[in-house]
């Protein structure tokens, strides 16, 4: 059996941190580009006014917008179906979507699939093998697209089809959120539901929006009549994508807040967060159209979404402490007591051989050096240990909190640990 080289382990962890950073950075930049383009074109589509110049109408232009930005004036126009002839230079918007999904899936693979036993599996939630958890996680990504696409195909073109599709997708997302939180660690479940919706967004671009646009271009170049159904379907899926954006973003951000995904009703927390995001996004989409039509802006959707967030904050608020909040109210905490907790709950992942996040806690000096990080991650945010793999208790978290808020020094607590 080959013994692990501590230096080799440290280098591997360091390189993995760099890979994680670069993938996160790439994913963030491409997501900004994709969502920014999505927001802009939804705004543009809902802000167009009938052209004032008859020549534009004769060319097939159905709407125009005058805008000023960065010191320049712009005049975008949208054709009712397509221009009479295909321009030589035509910009396609799809690499933003593909790059976002590819970088996101790579990051998901590095963080979760390659570390399934740590990040995907929480045996207190569901006791299964890492391999089974990986297969299930990938199945969630595929299943969401399949179910969503079936709903759109079956009901999207019916009378009140948009409402039927919205209700069907909402019901599926609620069910998927509940199931994910019954199978995976809370942090992974929230992220997986967000990745599920993000996969559907990118699949919309790959399977419907871009192929439909390519068919229109091919018909134009062949001198054939353009079938407007392709533009209608592309617009429908594009609108769906814009409603997914805020739910996806909040699901992705949630992994930084352990109090969101660690409760017993975490699936409901996720559903309410995403619902609030979709309602707020709807207000902005409806606002553009209302302003063009000279109607009242329907801010009540955003108000309801905000009320959902406020209600969620009240519901999840921690109970007031029964004892005084002062850290010294229960007496001083010895360094030895804190060190014992850290050795039992933290050192297995933060030691001389394995320095996760480049933090080691196997000596008193290192505990003191990283005291603030230990306090933040274990006592305040409660993100560590990851998925509570070492079963740290609330009493132990409180002990770390009292120790840090009481000074976090061995001298202040009469410890002799530093002299060992």
The DSSP code for 63 is E
CA separation for the pair 174, 166 (Å, rounded): 12
**Distance (Å, whole) CA 347 – CA 350:** 5
Locus of tokens 């352990």: 258
Identify the helix (H) or strand (E) that includes residue 418.
none
Write out pLDDT tens, residues 29-74.
999 999 999 999 999 999 999 999 999 999 999 999 999 999 999 9
Query: Phi, psi at residue 64, to the nearest 5°?
Result: -145, 165
Q: Residue 322's pLDDT is what?
A: 58
Dihedral angle sign, alpha carbons of residues 330, 333, 337, 339: positive
Band of residue 329 on the pLDDT scale cut at 50, 70, 90: low
Q: Which residue has the higher pLDDT, 288 or 410?
A: 288
Per-residue pLDDT tens over the stretch 13-23: 788 888 989 99
pLDDT at 246 over 80: yes
Q: Where are the alpha helices (DSSP H) in 76-160?
A: 95-108, 116-119, 130-155
What does the alpha-carbon distance between residue 370 and residue 347 come to, in Å, rounded to a whole number? 13
- Judge whether residue 11 has pLDDT over 90: no
Which CA distances in Å does 355 have to 12, 107, 360? 10, 20, 5
Q: Average model confidence (pLDDT) for the chain? A: 89
The residue extents of the domains of the chain are 94-316, 335-419
Label residue 412 by pLDDT band (50, 70, 90): very low
Cα(55)–Cα(340) distance, integer angstroms: 81
pLDDT score recorded for residue 178: 98
Instruction: State mean pLDDT over 253-262.
Output: 88
CA distances from 388 to 187, 330, 347 (A): 11, 26, 13
Between CA 46 and CA 293 the distance in angstroms is 10
Distance CA(291)–CA(47), nearest Å, equals 8
Tell whether the model's pLDDT for residue 393 goes beyond 50. Answer: yes
Give the rounded percent of residues in the chain with a pLDDT score beyond 90. 63
The secondary structure of 139-204 as a DSSP string is HHHHHHHHHHHHHHHHHTTSTTHHHHHHHHHHHHHHHHHHHHHHHS-HHHHHHHHHHHHHHHHHHH
At 136-194, the pLDDT tens digits run: 999 999 999 999 999 999 998 888 889 999 999 999 999 999 999 999 999 999 999 99
């Amino acid at each position: 059996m080959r013994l692990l080289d501590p230096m080799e382990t440290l280098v591997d962890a360091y390189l993995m941190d760099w890979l994680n950073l670069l993938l996160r950075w790439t994913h963030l930049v491409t997501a900004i580009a994709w969502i920014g383009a999505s927001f802009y074109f939804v705004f543009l589509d809902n802000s167009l006014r009938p052209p004032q110049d008859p020549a534009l109408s004769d060319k097939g232009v159905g709407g125009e917008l005058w805008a000023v930005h960065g010191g320049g004036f712009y005049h975008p126009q949208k054709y009712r179906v397509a221009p009479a002839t295909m321009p030589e230079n035509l910009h396609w918007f799809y690499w933003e979507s593909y790059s976002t999904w590819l970088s996101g899936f790579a990051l998901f693979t590095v963080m979760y699939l390659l570390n399934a036993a740590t990040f995907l599996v929480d045996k207190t939630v569901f006791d299964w093998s890492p391999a089974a958890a990986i297969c299930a996680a990938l199945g969630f990504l595929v299943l969401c697209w399949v179910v969503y696409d079936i709903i759109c195909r079956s009901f999207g073109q019916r009378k009140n089809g948009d409402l039927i599709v919205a209700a069907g997708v909402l019901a599926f997302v609620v069910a998927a959120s509940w199931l994910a939180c019954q199978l995976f660690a809370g942090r992974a479940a929230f992220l997986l539901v967000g990745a599920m919706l993000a996969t559907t967004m990118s699949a919309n671009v790959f399977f419907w929006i871009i192929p439909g646009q390519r068919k229109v271009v091919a018909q134009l170049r062949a001198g054939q009549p353009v079938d407007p159904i392709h533009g209608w379907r592309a617009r429908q899926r594009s609108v769906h994508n814009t409603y997914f954006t805020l739910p996806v973003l909040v699901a992705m951000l949630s992994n930084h807040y352990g109090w969101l995904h660690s409760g017993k009703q975490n699936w409901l927390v996720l559903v309410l967060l995403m619902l609030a995001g979709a309602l707020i996004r709807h207000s902005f989409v409806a606002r553009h159209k209302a302003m063009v039509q000279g109607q009242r802006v329907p801010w009540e959707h955003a108000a309801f979404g905000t009320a959902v967030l406020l209600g969620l904050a009240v519901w999840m608020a921690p109970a007031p402490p029964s004892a005084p909040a002062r850290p010294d109210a229960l007496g001083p905490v010895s360094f030895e007591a804190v060190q014992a907790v850290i050795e039992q709950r933290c050192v297995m992942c933060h030691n001389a051989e394995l320095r996760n996040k480049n933090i080691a806690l196997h000596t008193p000096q290192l505990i003191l050096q990283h005291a603030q990080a230990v306090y933040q991650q274990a006592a305040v945010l409660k993100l560590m240990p990851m998925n509570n793999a070492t079963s740290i208790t609330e009493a132990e978290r409180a002990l770390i909190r009292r120790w840090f808020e009481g000074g976090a020094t061995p001298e202040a607590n009469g410890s002799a640990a530093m002299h060992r």
